[in-house]
Amino acid sequence: MNSQLKPLLIALSSLALLACNDESQVEPTAQTQAVTLNIQPIGTSLDSQTIDPIITSQDYVSFITPLSGQYQAPKIQTQQQQNSDQYWFTVTGKALNQGIQLPISQTNASVRISPKQNKQQSLTTTSIDSQQISFMPVNAPASNKTSQYMENILNADKLATAGIFAHSSGFTLRNSAPIGLYQMLVKQTLPENAQYIINVKEKNSPKQLSLTAPLATSQTDNLTLSLTLANQALRHSPTAMLFDNHGNSYPLSVTKQDQQWQLTLANGAELPTSQHLMALEINTNEIIAGQLIKRSIRTAIKRYSHSANIDQQLQVDWQQQLPQQLSFNLDIASASRFDVSAVITGADQQGQEVSIMRTQAAQWFETGKQTLTLPIDQALISQMQLTAPFRVRELTLTDQGQLARLSYQAYASELRLH
């Protein structure tokens, strides 16, 4: 062999060897996998009703929050519970001058009378002088005096000076005052059509009205709740009303289904579209041990338009045997800014499920089929030395425009590259 060619052949052989080594170190080709999500039907159809969004940003943003430790499923609060030991109702000045009846079931009950403010009537309504109030048991002897039953009598000036219940007046019942039905009459002449709110609070009464209701409900769904009085099921249908943020009221029809009460808008009425909370008010009248018990309760309810769903098909992109990103298909019925978040877990060497990260992304979408991609931090998975099966947990779809959670799935899918 020509001595001049030998060095050239050696160099070419070395380059060929390096090329082989480089080829063996090429990263595996990225893979895409279709996964069916474990999404349970929520029983709510999509609602295309448009609500002016609170958040209108069009940009795509994503966040990853590192987590650690053995995975513990959180307790998601979807229900609220309220208790009431009081009742209230509205009367006219004419009714107060003629006399009204108040059932009292607890000693030391307090009674407050306040002028009612509405669109047609300002707080210039005449305040009531507590000294002009007659309050005695029904059928009490004519010789009895109001002072036998009332104490801590407060007029509007005293309450206003204390900075509470302006324009109101009130009193409490004496310890010696018997429970039962009372007659309250205002001797002071009042405008006949003026409206007043009567509020009776029976502090520490065991006869409390308990309400369990959802924190939020779709506008296309009926409102279902549970009610008990003194830990007993109600025997009579309560009355119910919704109030919007402008003070407008919407009567509700109430029907019993098993042990719960279902509320629907009366007479086919419709609520206006709004991102604001609404107030739900319930009033009951029950007879317990031969005694009339009145109770009122009010709580806030979020009514939202069910504007989007997550489809069952999930696209998973893999790189180096690790998930790289998750692409969720969304069915959008009403344009808004939507947010999808999920917790990603993996298995440690003992096979225990460990929290890795929370991944979250948000973007504005118009109506139709859309895709939102959640990133996954592969370096974090490698650093924690976790392996498959990876799991998608706490999958949440939120309409940021309404500040409303549309769906939640505690366990959505297992990720394993076959």
> What does the pLDDT average to over 121-139?
80
> What does the alpha-carbon distance between residue 213 and residue 215 come to, in Å, rounded to a whole number?
7
Q: Which of 57-66, 247-256, 269-278 has the lowest mean pLDDT?
A: 269-278
Domain with CATH 2.60.40.1930 in the chain: 208-304
Q: pLDDT category, 119, cuts 50, 70, 90?
A: low
- 41 has a pLDDT exceeding 70: no
pLDDT at 368: 96
* CA distances to 65, 84, 169, 384 from 88, in Å: 48, 11, 15, 59
Residue 405 has pLDDT above 80, yes or no: yes
Q: CATH 2.60.40.3870: does it fit domain 31-78+306-415? A: yes
pLDDT band (50, 70, 90) for residue 4 = low
Higher-confidence residue of 124 and 62: namely 62
Average pLDDT over residues 195-208: 94
What is the average per-residue pLDDT within 360-385?
A: 97
Q: Confidence band (pLDDT; 50, 70, 90) for 143?
A: confident
Per-chain mean pLDDT for the chain: 87
Band the pLDDT of 126: cuts 50, 70, 90.
confident
Which pLDDT does position 135 carry in this prediction? 94
What the block records as the tokens of 310 is 């997550």
Write down the pLDDT at residue 8: 43
| pLDDT computed for residue 9 by the predictor | 43
The encoded tokens of residue 394 equal 């706490």
Joined together, the tokens standing for residue 360 give 């979250």
Unique residue bearing structure tokens 């990103």: 325
Q: 164: pLDDT confidence band, cut at 50, 70 and 90?
A: low
Residue with structure tokens 């060619």? 5
pLDDT computed for residue 10 by the predictor:
44
pLDDT at residue 228, as a whole number: 96
The reported pLDDT for the residue numbered 120 is: 55
pLDDT at 265 over 60: yes
Higher pLDDT, 389 or 155: 389
What does DSSP assign to residue 378? H
Q: How many whole angstroms separate alpha carbon 172 and alpha carbon 201?
A: 9
**Given this model, what pLDDT does residue 270 score?**
72
Q: What is the mean pLDDT of residues 240-260?
A: 91
DSSP 69-136: SB--------EEEEEESEEEEEEEHHHHHH-EEEEE-STT-EEEEEEPP-SS--TTSPPPPGGGEEEE
Give yes or no for residue 275 having a pLDDT over 90.
no
- Least confident segment among 19-23, 127-131, 192-196, 276-280: 19-23
Cα three-residue angle 156-101-146, rounded to 5 degrees:
60
For residue 20, pLDDT beyond 80: no
What pLDDT score was predicted for residue 18?
38
Res 159: pLDDT: 55
Query: What CATH number has the domain spanning 208-304?
Result: 2.60.40.1930
Choose between 296 and 32: higher pLDDT.
Answer: 296
Give span(s): CATH 2.60.40.3870, the chain. 31-78+306-415
CATH ID of 86-201, from 1.20.1180.10, 2.60.120.1370, 3.40.50.960, 1.10.357.10: 2.60.120.1370
The backbone torsions φ and ψ at residue 143, rounded to the nearest 5 degrees and listed phi first, read -75, -15
